[in-house]
Amino acid sequence: MSAGLSQAALASALGISPSYLNLIENNKRAIGGSLLLRIGERLGVDMAYLSDESEAQSIATINELMFNPVMQGIEVSQNDIREVVSRFPEFATALTRFYRAYVDAAANIEALQHRLKSDPFLSSLLHEILNRVAGIKSSAEIVATTSDLTAEEQRRFAATINKEARDLVPTLQSLIGYFDTSSSLLSKPVSPMNEIDEAIIEAENYFPALEEVADELAKVLPPERPLQESRLVELMATRFGIDCRLSADGREALAPGFDSARIMLLPEAASPATRIFRMLRRYARLAAGDAIDSAVLALTLVSDEARQIARRALSSYVAAAIMMPYDRIHGMAEERRYDIELIGNLIGADFEQVAQRFVSLRRKGQEGVPFGFLRADRAGRLTKRFTLPGLILPASGHGCLLWPIYRAFSTSEIVRQVSVFPSGSRFLQVARQVRKYTGSFERLSPVYAIMLSCDVFYADRTVYGRALDAADENVQAGPSCLLCPRLECAHRNDAAA
């Protein structure tokens, strides 16, 4: 080995048998968690080299594919899946892309079925068509079966048939137009966010070029943090001629006499961190649009909708990097043990902004703790995710009910636990409820829960790894009911595939 270790010596250093190490080398055993970290340390290689996150995501997606009822009766082992992904990565990518297209098509069919059953416009069209066809049929039957009709009566029935047929044409044209419109709408991918999530995960949520752009854009701002709203309002006005104003409802509407590109309304009920972030995002888009567009192009997204959302996401990335410069946030995180609330107060960012910035601390030689990130709405649906090697997260829908992200909705405090996954991997998970707006009784604020996860190997580098309660040390959790093999779990809502 280039590291100067024989297989037997490496196995001994890792505390495993040479035969087990041989299985790992030949992709016959999956590894993760602390064992993966120990191998990386002994060999002196980066975690990204040993645990390709795109490979892990492909394995998770193929697992989801095999759990689909369509695949019932087909047995494929985990070893076979891992071997396909590692030996034939392009084929695995094609398979996962095809499966996503299948999921989109199935969702399109379901949406169209629902529309056919419940759309009042379609119901009215079909009712009108049936009535006119019935009128034509009735008149035609009378003419065909009644032999003693006078010439006048025959002309009258023929006129009725002609009128009903003529009136039927625009109704049928409306029906064709309806289905043409529906087809164009349903031909779009149902989940462009999933497409973006997977592309950003593949990039490890770290964009060096955008970090450099953020450093350049930050030079016109004071180095002190938190940033002051008034300074950003002044910058937007002097550099771009944009008038930033507070709005009671935060609608991005036009003010009289202003073009839409010259006015920016900010919700007065939002926190200063939210308003500052929105101005920074607009600043990033205006000042570094070409760099952001280049980064979007590099993601090789398929749909126009995904590219549009990605521009906003990467503009947000630059905004976060301006608000929390890499060197500063990394130093604060290491010094203050990744205390999200404390660091947020010091740097002027909210819980979600700091948590998501932690995920992007992947600069080679200056990495932070590797975190996975999840956001869920009050219905429990996962709306944003960044995964980790060994941490399988569902691509959509709901996660495991035993994750602390769901307990976070019932308290204003931070919730933490160590979750033990079926693979044996153990992750420290930290969650908290967040609100997008504050300070207004009349405005119903969107509420989410944010969760960070890291391998327990890193727990002692965080403030959240201290003095865990016994009840929080080994919660037997899983990825989701569908993907979880714990058949006897009392919290199961769906049958395991």
pLDDT band at 378 (very low <50, low <70, confident <90, very high): very high
Tell me: the pLDDT tens digits for 326-375? 999 999 999 999 999 999 999 999 999 999 999 999 999 999 999 999 99
Mean pLDDT confidence for 1-13:
68
State how far the Cα of 359 lies from the Cα of 391, in Å rounded to an integer.
14
CA dihedral 93, 98, 99, 100 (to 10 degrees): 90
Rounded to whole angstroms, how far apart are CA atoms 210 and 315? 9
- Alpha carbon distance 325, 115 (integer Å): 48
Tens of pLDDT along 277-293? 999 999 999 999 999 99
Structure tokens given for 387:
């995964």
Residue with the bigger pLDDT between 176 and 299: it is: 299
- The Cα–Cα gap between 159 and 341 comes to 79
Reading phi first (left if > 0) and then psi (alpha if -120 to 50, else beta), residue 75 is in beta
- What is the architecture of the domain spanning 119-186? Orthogonal Bundle (1.10)
- CB under 8 Å, gap of 24 or more: what pairs does 434-439 form? 434/350, 434/351, 434/352, 436/270, 436/274, 437/250, 437/267, 437/269, 437/270, 437/271, 437/274, 438/269, 438/270, 438/271, 439/268, 439/269
358 touches 368 (CB < 8 A)? yes
Which DSSP helix (H) or strand (E) runs through 182?
A: helix 151-186
Helix or strand or coil: residue 26? coil
Q: Which pair of structure tokens corresponds to residue 348?
A: 């002027």
Q: Residue 390 — very low, low, confident or very high, per pLDDT cuts 50/70/90? A: low
User: Mean pLDDT, to the nearest integer, of 156-179?
Assistant: 83
Taking the CB of residue 25, how many other CB atoms lie within 10 A of it?
11
d(CA 457, CA 256): 58
Burial profile 381-412: b = 16 or more Cβ within 10 angstroms, e = fewer: ebebbbbbbbbbbbbbebbbbbbbbbbbbeee
Asked whether the CA dihedral 452, 454, 459, 465 is positive or negative, the reply is positive
Identify any residues that bridge with 420 across adjacent strands, giving them in sequence order: 426, 476
- pLDDT at residue 258 is higher than 50: no
Rounded CA separation 391/33 (Å) = 9
CATH code for residues 369-497: 3.30.450
Q: Give 393-431 pLDDT, tens digit per residue.
A: 776 678 899 999 999 999 999 999 999 988 788 899 999
What CA–CA distance (Å, rounded) separates 142 from 50? 81
Kindly list the domain boundaries of the chain, sorted by start residue.
Answer: 7-99, 119-186, 192-339, 369-497
Helix axis angle, 89-118 relative to 53-66, nearest 10°? 50
